[in-house]
Amino acid sequence: MNKMDKTKLIQVTKENEGKRIDAFLAAFDETLTRNAVQRLIENKNIVVNRREIAKNYKLKEGDIIEITLPPPTPLEVAAEDIPLDIVYEDQYLLVVNKPKGMVVHPAAGNLKGTLVNALLAHCKDLSGINGVIRPGIVHRIDKDTSGLLMVAKTDAAHLGLAAQIKDHSFLREYEAVLCGRIKEESFTVDKPIGRHKKDRKKMAVCEDGRNAVTHFEVIKVYDKFTHVRCRLETGRTHQIRVHAASIGHPVAGDSVYGKAHKDLNGQCLHAKKLGFVHPITHIKMEFDSELPDYFKNFLKKCGKVDI
């Protein structure tokens, strides 16, 4: 086995007995699709009870699934001199205010103009835990979500920050404009999120998804929209957007989980605050960012009936 390969063991419980392995793993791990699982099975990277299996294998209680993920195919990620809004930086980490419209890391067909391209030009060293594709990236925000993002320069800092995210002690607070009028002053959405059954590019609330909790607080109610503060307890892909849509109040401008808006280019969602204990110095740190112009301009228009 290559030293860079990553192995994961999963024991099948009674409630998952009878499920197809490709469907089960795609729901269990949001980074995998059913097609990806099937390819891993074909390449003998997934075995059950140390035996090779068919792509349509049905699980039995007590089965031990062993997944060996090969290292990603290296991409040539070029450093690019792209301006960065750096809120904080030291020798271990930095906090950057990402603009709306910027992709966080390169992917096939999108290798330029990303935050990682800009970081490679700015920093000599970045954490290598996520490989050459996502150097230094501890957590992500969507392309059309603006706001604060943490970047690790060393592996030790990366591991320390990731541990805080895992135990829910890492503060991530957003502001958003949701469609419709919300009567409650505050509320919590506690619904599991997994890969959409039919559209694998989307996420959805589903019973077999991963635990996901978002706390909402109303800031101001307008005629057709509500300005809210959102605090993540967990950090699933598209969590705020999926949870907001699930209660009938999608994020304004979100064409994936709601509908586009003529005054917005993508969802009206901003990662406003980050709070954590510095993984090396152990000093408690908190950062707050100003709402960007697109967000403030939309709030001004929200007071108009004809929006």
Q: Which residues are known to be catalytic?
A: 142
Whether 82 contacts 119, CB under 8 Å? no
Which amino acid is it at 278?
Answer: H
Q: How many CA atoms lie within 13 A of 194 on its CB side?
A: 19
3-state class of 277 per DSSP? strand
CA quadruple 199, 205, 209, 214: dihedral positive or negative? positive
- Tell me which H or E stretch contains 65: strand 64-69
Give every CB contact of residue 224 below 8 A, 6+ residues apart in sequence: 179, 180, 181, 302, 307
Which amino acid is it at 180?
Answer: G
Q: Pairing state of beta strands 146-152 and 171-179?
A: unpaired
Give every CB contact of residue 65 below 8 A, 6+ residues apart in sequence: 9, 10, 11, 12, 21, 25, 46, 47, 48, 59
E strands, 162-293, in order: 171-179, 186-190, 193-195, 203-205, 213-221, 225-232, 269-277, 284-288
Tokens of 306: 């004809």
CA quadruple 190, 100, 153, 290: dihedral positive or negative? negative
